[in-house]
Amino acid sequence: MSIYLRNKTWWYCITVKGKTHRGSCKTEDESQAKELHDRIRADIWRGRVLGEAQKRGIGEAIDRFLREHRHKKSRRDDERYAEWWKEQFSAAEIRLLEEVTPDVVKDIRDEEVKRVSIASVNRRLAFLRAVMRAAALEWLWTEKAPKFRLLPGEVERRRFLNPAEVERLVRALPTPYADMALLAVSTGLRQSNVFGLKWSEVDLQRRMLVFSGKVMKNGLPFSIPLNETAMSVIRGWVGRTEGYVFEYRGKPVKELSSRLWAAALEKAGLEDLRWHDLRHTWASLMRQSGVGLSDLQELGGWESHEMVQRYAHLDVEHLAPKAAVLDGVLGRPRQASVHILHTV
C-alpha cells in the first residue's frame, strides 16, 4: 500500500495506468490514511479504467473547500467569494466542474472588472483557482485544474473622501448601511469587522471594541477606542438587536448589494468609490489632522510600518522649515527663484 509519512502526516501515492497521483491524507492516523487511500484508489480505477468518473458540481467543490479551510484567517473573505462565484455560475448555467473553463471564467472576469478594481477581481480569481486545484490534486474530482489568468496592472488605490463627501454618502445610504459607513469612517475598521460586529465585541463602559484574532485579517487580537461619533452610532442600536449589532429585517447584514451602493453613490454625487476606501478615508483624515504614523499603525491594526507609509505624504507641515532652507541659498524667496528660472 502506497502511503508514507511526511512531517507526521500520512500521504498517498497511487499509480493507475501509468499515471501517478499523490496527495495528503490530512491525518496522522495510519488507519484513517489507509481507508482514504483505498477509497481514492477505487475512485481513480473507476474513472480511468472503467470510465465511470462521477461528475462533480462546482457548488459542491466550493462548499467542500470552505469546510476544509474553515480555520483560515481569511474565512469571511472566502465565504464572500464563494457566494459570488456561485451566483455567477448559476447565472451562466454552469453546474459541473468540467464546465468551469478558462473561457467561461475570462468572460465573467472581464465583465466584473468594469465594476470593481483589478485587485478585487484577482482575489476572486485566486479563490477559484484554489478550489479547482484542490478538486484536481487533492480530491481527484477532475482530471486537471484549469489555468485562470490574473489581470495585470494591479495598482494601489489612494481614494478617500473629504468630510463633506462623507456626509453626503451617509445621507444617501439607507439604514443600516448609513450607520455602518459612518462607523467605518470613524474607526477605520475593515468591512468584515463592521458587517460582522457583535455585541460581545462592544464594551460601552470602556468605550472600546475588542476583537479576537479569529476575526482579524492578520490573526491577532485587536482593540480600538471609540470616539464620540462611533459611540453615537453604536448607542443608536442598543436594544434594537441581539447577537450582531447591525441587522436588516431581523437578520445580520452579510453584504452590501452593488446595486444599492451604486444608487447611493449616484445620489451623493460620488464616483469610483468602494467600501474599503472608507478605511482609507479614516486613515487619510487622521493623518491630515496630525496623527503620527506609529499611532496610525496601532489604531488601524496594521502589522507592519510599511502599510501606513502610503499616508505619509498627507501631513508635510513639519517639513516646511526644511524646505525653507533653500531660500537662504537662492536669495530672496520668490523673486530670486523667478530670476534664476528666466536666466537658465
Residues annotated catalytic, as ranges? 190, 217, 276, 279, 302, 311
Q: Do the beta carbons of residue 213 and residue 220 sit within 8 Å?
A: yes
* Virtual torsion, Cα 148, 151, 156, 158, nearest 10 deg: -120
Q: What would the 3-class secondary structure string for 63-103 be?
A: HHHHHHCCCCCCHHHHHHHHHHHHHHHHHCCCCEHHHCCHH
| Preceding amide of 163 cis, omega within 30 | no
Name the residue type at position 94: I
Quick count: other Cβ atoms within 10 Å of Cβ 62? 22
Give the single-character DSSP code of 46.
Answer: I
Which SS3 state, helix, strand or coil, does residue 298 take? Answer: helix
Rounded to the nearest 10 degrees, what angle do helices 228-235 and 177-187 cross at? 150
Return all residues near 249 (Cβ < 8 A) that are at least 6 apart.
none
Measured CA to CA, the distance from residue 89 to residue 96 in angstroms comes to 10
